[in-house]
Amino acid sequence: MRRFVSRLSLLAIVAAVSCLAIGLDATGKDKKGSELPLGLKAMKIPADNPQTAAKIELGKQLYFDKRLSVDNTVSCASCHDPNKGWSNGEKFATGVRGQMGGRSAPTIINSGYVHLQFWDGRAEALEGQALGPIANPIEMDLPIEKAVEKIAAIPGYKKQFKKVFKSAVTSDGIAKAISAFERTIVSGNAPYDQFKAGDENALSDSAKRGMDLFFNKAKCAACHKGESFTDGAFHNIGVGYAEENGEPADVGRFAVTNQLGDKGAFKTPTLREIAKTAPYMHDGSVATLEEVVKFYNKGGVKSPQLSEDIFPLKLNEQDIQDIVNFMKEGLSSEDYPHVDPPELP
C-alpha cells in the first residue's frame, strides 16, 4: 500500500511540474485545463531534460542516497532536508568526516525558477549544480567518475538508467535526474497568494501591514521580487564584513566574476517558506527573522561595495514585527512540499 501511495504522489508531482513547464492561457490554466499552484508562473524546463515520472523517481532516489558520498554518510538530503525547509537548520553545511563548510545550505525550494545556482552563482541551472557537492572534498568527496562507477554497480540503478536515458549510468544522467526531482520541490498557494487572489481574510491585520511595508517603505521587494521573492541576482548587504578593516570573510560572487563590484555579493535567497529555513544569510550568522529585519533596518554593515539598496529604514518595533509576521504567515504554504525518503535499489 505504501508503494502504491508513493506512486500516486509521484504522478501528482509530475502532473504539477508538467503544468509548470508549459504556457498558460488567459485564465491562468494550461492548455490541458490544469491549474498552477497559486502565485507561481510557468517554470522553464530544459529542452534536453524533460520531466518524466521515471526520471523524477530516479532523481529522488539519487537525492536521498548516501552512497553518492565517499564513505556513504552524506546525501543531498543531508544538507537539504525536506523536514528542515529543504535546508539543514544549521549555520553551516556539514560534509563527510564531519567537515564544516563555510556557507549555510540554501533551500532548494523553487530553485527551478532561478538560473544561477549556489550562493555565488558559479553554476548555471540545476543540471550545472547537481554534481558539484558530490565531488566537493568537504561535502561528499566522491570524484564524479567514481560516483558513476559506484551507481553503475547497483543493478537497480543500472536498470533505471537504461529505462530513463536508454544508456548506461553517466554523470550527465545523474545530474539530469537529480535536477528533474529538484524541480518538483515548489511552494506556492501561500496566504499571500490567496490574499492577492481576493481572499481578504487570508492574512492577519499585522501581516497586511507588514506586506505594505515590505513592498513600499522597507524596500524589501527591490531584491525579493517575483513568484519566488528573489531577483536571482547578487548583492552586497554587508554580511560577513569586519567593520574594522572593511574586508569580507567570504568574497562571494567576486570569486566567480573577478569584478570588484561583486566583492562580498551573494545571491538573493527565496523568501518562500522562509520561516522554516533559519538561520539566515549566506553564513548562517543571523538566527531569527526579527534579527534579519533589524539588520536591514540599521542599513546593514558598511562596506566599500555595499548595495545602493541598503540604507537605514527608520522602522519602529511594530513595523519590524509586522514585516516578520508577513514573511512567517504570508509566505508559508499549507501545500509545503513534504517528501518521504524513497526505497533505494
Question: Please, which residues have CB within 8 angstroms of residue 189's CB and are 6 or more apart in sequence?
Answer: 37, 38, 39, 333, 334, 335
One-character DSSP codes across 264-299: TBEEPPP-TTGGGS-SBSTT--B-SHHHHHHHHHTT
* 291 belongs to the catalytic site: no
Question: Please, which residues have CB within 8 angstroms of residue 331's CB and are 6 or more apart in sequence?
Answer: 190, 191, 192, 229, 271, 272, 273, 274, 275
Give the active site residue among 57, 90, 124, 139: 139
Find how far residue 196's CA is from the centre of its chain.
Answer: 23
Is residue 319 left, alpha or beta, with left meaning phi > 0 and alpha meaning psi from -120 to 50?
Answer: alpha
DSSP state of 261: G
Length of the chain: 345
Angle separating helix axes 155-165 and 53-64, nearest 10 degrees: 150
Task: Check: CB of residue 80 under 8 Å from CB of residue 88.
Answer: yes
Find how far residue 139's CA is from the centre of its chain.
Answer: 18
Residue tagged 560534509 (cell numbers): 95
One-character DSSP codes across 94-119: B-GGG-B-SS-----TTGGG-SEEST
Task: Check: CB of residue 250 under 8 Å from CB of residue 302.
Answer: no
Question: Please, which residues have CB within 8 angstroms of residue 192's CB and are 6 or more apart in sequence?
Answer: 39, 202, 203, 211, 326, 330, 331
Instruction: Report, as residue numbers or ranges, the catalytic residues.
Output: 139
